[in-house]
Amino acid sequence: METELTSLQRAYLLGRSEYVPLGGVAMQEFREYRGRFDLDLLERQLVLLAERHESLRTVIDRKTYSRHILEKPSVDFLSIDLSGLAPEEADRKIDELRQEFSHRLFDLTAPPWQVVAFKLPEPAEKTDDTCAVFFRFDALILDGFSIAALLAELFEDKRPEVAPPAASPAAPDRDMVRRDAEYWKSKLKSYEGAPRLPWKKPLEDIKTSRYERAGLTVDKERLRIFSRLGAKNGLFQNTVLSAAILEVLSHWLSEGPLHVGIPAAPRTGGGYANRSTFFAVAWETRQGTDLAERARTLQTDVLEALDHLSFSGVDINRFLMDIGGTEGGVALPVVLTNGLSWPTLPPDHPIRLRDCLTQTPQVAMDIRLTTTSDGDLAVDIDYAVEAVDAAVVRDILAAIDKAVRVICETETLAFSARDILDFSHYRFNSPEEGYSSCGYLNRIADHMFNAPPENDALINGDRRVSYADLGAGVHKALTFLEERKLENGNIVVLSLPRSPEQTMLTLACALRGIIWVPVDACAPADRLKYMYDNCRPDLVVGSTPVAGYEVIPAETVLNTVASKDPFALMPRLEDLSSSDAAAYYLYTSGTTGKPKCVVLSNRSTDNVIGSTNAEWEITSSDVFISVSPLYHDMSIYEVFGCLTAGATLVQPVQGEEKDAVRWNQLVAEHGVTIWSSVPTIFEMLLSCRKGEELKSLRLINQGGDYLKPAVIAELRQTNPGARLSSIGGPTETTIWSIWHRICPQDTGNIPYGRPLPANSYFILNEHGEHCPPGVVGRIHSCGVNTALGYLQDGELHQHDFVTIEDEHGCSVRAFRSGDRGKYRHDGIILFDSRVQGYIKVRGVRISIPDVENELVKHPEVSRVLLTDLGDERSGETELGALYELVAGSRITDADLRSFARRHLQESHIPSRFLRVDSIPLSANGKPDRRQARRILAETSAAKRPPRPRQEPESRRVLDIYLGVVGNGQSRPVDGSTDFLSIGLLPSHLKPISARINAEFGVALLPKQLLQCRNADQVHQLVAAQCA
């Protein structure tokens, strides 16, 4: 007689295919026993076992989704004689066979169970074992309890009376199913997707995986204490163990709730079979309630769940996938299996269970609780090796062991992150007390006034400023400041372009202890006024008038006649260099667009300069180039780091600030050895390189944004001898507070790095607890580099500067950044995302960086910038994407959308794509999502008129040039108009070449356009390439 398969059995059959993520495996259990047993009797006893239990004679028909029982047993038994081998060789052979045997799929034309027995050499290991036996059972016929019971019956040879087969259960009442469905849909409505544990890759991207087991043993005495504490709190043994394990596991969440699957196999009488199902529970993470209270909630949830099983586990899984936006994904990748009541062999039995492994489709981690024959607790984790790193599993088990130990020692159901986590990944953190001053200000003063180096201090166009000349200008400025009675604690705004004069004034303020404030000299007047009003300066030096402020030109300051010894005009520089008082203010763009004023000290700056110059081995022979905006924190090191070492600083003149062609020329002309900038600026430099202009660079440093692995790979080819460095840390942590020396092993995403000396980096979860290695959390930093706070209306504020506990439980002041990252086990931090890098689109939580990273893999796409958009038609949020093409590419929005569909879930595909000539950047050279949002909104609202089809080719070229450069000419322009007359700069050529390539389908480089003086010549160049 044929019987229909249950929904769970059907799901097991589906899981055998690779049509579902984490599929391609059978739900089966492998067991290995060792000991002394007569193998000649084993096959006979297996036949007798199969005769007594119809589950061992069950055949599954995957075509009809049914099962039937064979009248006579069909036992798949194999005996292998290894007695003639050396013990070590026999073990190797068994190990090889174990891997293949434990993962093999059954041929379903016969009952899906199998036994392989090995006759061992004598003696085997240090035991009296004569045999090893492998068992493998498919869950299509047996659940875990049944397997354990059958094998106990086999080895004890008890041959108990077998209960008659249970009748097939009647279909549940429809009203009961409806009520249970309503219960589960209400109970699980907070589900937001699979637990965000440190998966090696997105689970939906894993077709199949092999499985491995790791475990720990809790001795019976600790188990007794643990169980007694549970009973004292009204908890079953299984509940208190599950609660402790889930509490430990929750520390590996990057964010969000923890939902796990719980198998349930109610014993309904009849023979051994698999009548199991499963349900889901949510573990309440630490939200003001103690562990015992949350354990009681868990117990209530489990007991309620057992009364609502007519809505099957398969139905629950389908519901979770629907509400979690994980269609085609994995809903419950973590399972907690209770096998505490499963039968075991007695401790003195000649056969013992040696190994076990369970694999389940769409399960990445199965945490299994069983008791050993000695009465100890076994906590085992069967995990998919493609989904979970073995080190993470070991860490979780070690934390569970520590949690049990702490609870037993304190006899209290409570433990903290510090009790259970290993903090060896913090090995590169160092206390603030380790700060040692390099005396950067007195070194600069010595170079200018006592022992000037022979090399130039500054090179600015044709001007070469020696250290003595630089000192003379600084001396004049010091005199002016004294005459104005401006000294330590006063505030001076410097609204000046890059020049020797700006450097002189900056140094004079710094050496006198005046708080100096560099601002963008080209900023709009209303922005300047906001910044001035906020910091309340005593003096403004610049050229742009701002209402309510006297603005003095730099010439007025530097025309002062120097007086006194310059050192008499300065406080004691050794003390000033290490002072933790406010030294300068830097305005950042801010997350909302309003500039934030960060207050920084000499002490933190001295630490960066001293540490960096030592690490990079900076000497007076080095030549720097200043390309970062003067109000950007990286420019602080360009100036002060260079002059501290007595090196030379090359300053592009006005008009060359964004001219990457000229930068290349300056590097080659002056033999620049040190380059430091944000990646965008460096990529501009590379794009305009013609030959070997950059061969003099011995160190290339990038930071402040993602470093592209492709750029690093290119540098390894073009500048193999250069040291490559990555730095990071927000302005609030002074210039940079974390770094990484890029090594040959860094072929993918470049690590964020490790803290600078006298600094510490901590990664905390949403509860303010320390994250273990591999777990993404919010980055917090503390130490000497931490800024003093934010200046708001002239007063110091501490927003985002918070008090946390370090790994020792000591309170420390830290900056809570907007970045998320994770530690590797080796103590190196990996950047993950921005805190605001996630959005929800139609209820699905989407990582913007992840989608960008997928889209930019298209070979014809150079860069992608995503942003969220408000759809006025439906009131929902949607994704919009701006993309920039590789030169010569001609793909369309439809092409990129098609590519996205092949690489992303449907929910993650942007609703709108828009090709742009260049991704919008902020003033600091970082992608500007607010501007991207505006561009997408404007192009959606505006209807551009179609271009006339018979437009002359040279006119089309000219329009592209005018679109980039702008047309401020009052007279008409045509194809013969000289480009210089319309204001063309070399920095315009990259976006112009991109537009021309997209318009005409050619592949012109910016350097080729340099040869053309007007649009007619460019048209000839385009025509020649098209011919």
pLDDT tens by residue, 621-646: 999 999 999 999 999 999 999 999 99
d(CA 865, CA 884): 9
**In the chain, domain spans:** 28-138+142-156, 174-343+359-421, 463-577, 760-830, 838-941, 953-1026
Exposure string over 579-601, b if 16+ CB within 10 A, otherwise e: beebbbbbbbbeeeeebbbbbbb
Are the C-beta atoms of residues 205 and 388 closer than 8 Å to each other?
Answer: no
Angstrom distances, CA of residue 355 to CA of 95, 132, 133, 135, 437: 11, 11, 10, 10, 58
CATH top-level class for 953-1026? Answer: mainly alpha
Residue 457 phi, psi dihedral angles, 5° rounding: -85, -45
Beta strands (DSSP E) in 771-828 are 777-783, 789-792, 795-797, 801-805, 811-823
Residue 72 phi, psi dihedral angles, 5° rounding: -110, 150
Max distance between CA atoms of the chain, in angstroms, equals: 114
Mean pLDDT value across residues 8-21: 86
Length of the chain in terms of residues written: 1027
Asked whether the whole model's pTM tops 0.85, one would answer no
SS3 state at 205: helix
CA end-to-end span of the chain, whole Å?
A: 77
d(CA 860, CA 1001): 13
d(CA 654, CA 445): 27
pLDDT for residue 114: 97
Structure tokens at 407: 């609870």
Mean pLDDT value across residues 646-663: 90
CA 892-895-896 angle, 5° bins: 95
d(CA 114, CA 136): 5
Please name the residues in contact with 43: beta carbons below 8 A apart, sequence gap of 6 or more.
75, 77, 79
Amino acid at 373: S
Are the C-beta atoms of residues 258 and 246 closer than 8 Å to each other?
Answer: yes
Q: What stretch of H or E contains 552?
A: strand 551-552
pLDDT for residue 1023: 81
Q: Which of 517, 512, 514, 510 is nearest to 532 (CA)?
A: 517
Residue 266 phi, psi dihedral angles, 5° rounding: -60, 135
28-138+142-156: CATH architecture: 2-Layer Sandwich (3.30)
DSSP alpha helix (H) spans, 560-632: 573-577, 602-615
Q: Which of 732, 703, 431, 507 is nearest to 604 (CA)?
A: 732
DSSP for 224-288 reads: HHHHHHHHHTT--HHHHHHHHHHHHHHTT-SSS-EEEEEEE----SSSS----EEEEEEE--SSS
pLDDT for residue 63: 87
Q: Which of 806, 677, 653, 789 is nearest to 734 (CA)?
A: 789
Q: What stretch of H or E contains 703?
A: strand 699-703
pLDDT for residue 838: 61
Binning pLDDT at 50, 70 and 90, where does residue 959 land?
confident
Q: What stretch of H or E contains 755?
A: strand 754-755
SS3 state at 650: strand
Q: What is the mean pLDDT of the chain?
A: 89
pLDDT for residue 950: 35
Q: What is the pLDDT of residues 439-494, one digit of tens each?
A: 999 999 999 999 999 999 999 999 999 999 999 999 999 999 999 999 999 999 99
d(CA 93, CA 85): 10
Instruction: Map tokens 């073995």 to a residue.
Output: 390
Residue 385 phi, psi dihedral angles, 5° rounding: -70, -20
Binning pLDDT at 50, 70 and 90, where does residue 999 land?
confident
Q: Which fold has domain 174-343+359-421?
A: Chloramphenicol Acetyltransferase (3.30.559)
Q: Is omega for the bond preceding 123 within 30 degrees of 0, making it cis?
A: yes
Could you check whether 760-830 and 838-941 share the same CATH topology? no
Percent share of the chain, pLDDT over 90: 66
pLDDT for residue 966: 63
**Region 463-577: CATH code:** 3.40.50.980
Q: Which of 149-153, 191-195, 806-810 is predicted with the least confidence, judged by mean pLDDT?
A: 191-195
Q: Which of 524, 558, 557, 552 is nearest to 540 (CA)?
A: 552
d(CA 354, CA 98): 12
Q: How far is CA 316 from the centre of its chain?
A: 30
Q: What is the pLDDT of residues 521-545, one digit of tens each?
A: 888 888 899 999 999 999 999 988 9
d(CA 780, CA 760): 8
Q: Which of 407, 380, 381, 367 is nearest to 227 (CA)?
A: 407
Are the C-beta atoms of residues 996 and 1002 closer than 8 Å to each other?
Answer: yes
Mean pLDDT value across residues 118-131: 81
Are the C-beta atoms of residues 685 and 700 closer than 8 Å to each other?
Answer: no
Binning pLDDT at 50, 70 and 90, where does residue 8 land?
confident
pLDDT for residue 491: 97
pLDDT for residue 671: 96
pLDDT for residue 951: 45
The domain 838-941 belongs to what CATH superfamily?
ANL, C-terminal domain (3.30.300.30)
CA 582-587-589 angle, 5° bins: 150
d(CA 672, CA 461): 14
Binning pLDDT at 50, 70 and 90, where does residue 293 land?
very high
Instruction: Count CA atoms closer than 13 A to 452's CA, side-chain side.
Output: 16
Is a pLDDT exceeding 70 seen at residue 923?
A: no
d(CA 925, CA 918): 12
Is a pLDDT exceeding 80 seen at residue 986?
A: no
DSSP alpha helix (H) spans, 121-173: 144-156
d(CA 859, CA 856): 8
The domain 760-830 belongs to what CATH superfamily?
Luciferase; Domain 3 (2.30.38.10)
